[in-house]
Amino acid sequence: MLRVLRAVITDIDGTLTDERRRLNLQAVQTIRTLQDNGVEVILASGNTSCILKGLSKLIGTGGTFIGENGGVYRVGFTGNLQVLPDRQVALDALDLLTRHFQEQGIRLDMFSPRERFADVAFARTVPVQEVRDLLAGMNVTVLDTNFAIHIQEAGFSKGRAFRTIVSDIGIPLSDFVAIGDSENDIDMIQAAGWGCCVANAGEEVQKAAAFTAGRPYGDGFVEVMARAFPHILAR
């Protein structure tokens, strides 16, 4: 790895957390150390902007985040929230799914429906492939993050939002290390100068990454950051 890296974009669930969604405290400290030494750290997640606003402050990033799998983003703590897809497209798809599963006596367990502006998300209590088959004729993307099923208008992603943000913050894609664990992280990982994943990442994610950590979850994040920024984290 010969390039000089100046920034980080990271997934949260499964990358900074364990399988129970508990933050790895060493990963949090690593982010704070990087940010305090001039390395911009961006959170990129399927979570809502409400959650990401709080996490950005409490973890100690510079405030920039991507939420709802690229559906929304904010630059810095004072930037306005930007919404990219048309959420009505996702809501129309959800209506079809709701009616289909209600006929089977199944109720979808929705995640934060009032706090989402770009997508819809629900628990993985129904088969992902069945959802994809039902929505095959609609202009939507179905994402399985291993923690939830997300639906949003096709053509939007973490990677697309990532490419939009870099022009606002003035750091090129080539200067970023990106890290994640699931399918919604693939285009983000491929867009960065050094794309990585943690050991618990799926097979397709590992194929897309230039480097796979030997450790899973937050420990894998810490491992990758130590490789990317030895001049900071070896102090």
Contact between residue 70 and residue 160 where contact means Cβ atoms under 8 Å apart: yes
Active site residue 11: yes
CA dihedral sign, ordered 188, 190, 195, 196: positive
Coil/strand/helix, residue 2: coil
Contacts with 225 (C-beta within 8 Å, 6 or more apart), sequence order: 8, 30, 34, 177, 233
Strand partners, 207: none
**Segment holding 177, helix H or strand E:** strand 176-180
Coil/strand/helix, residue 162: helix
- Distance (Å, rounded) from C-alpha 110 to C-alpha 177? 32
Q: Which residues are catalytic?
A: 11
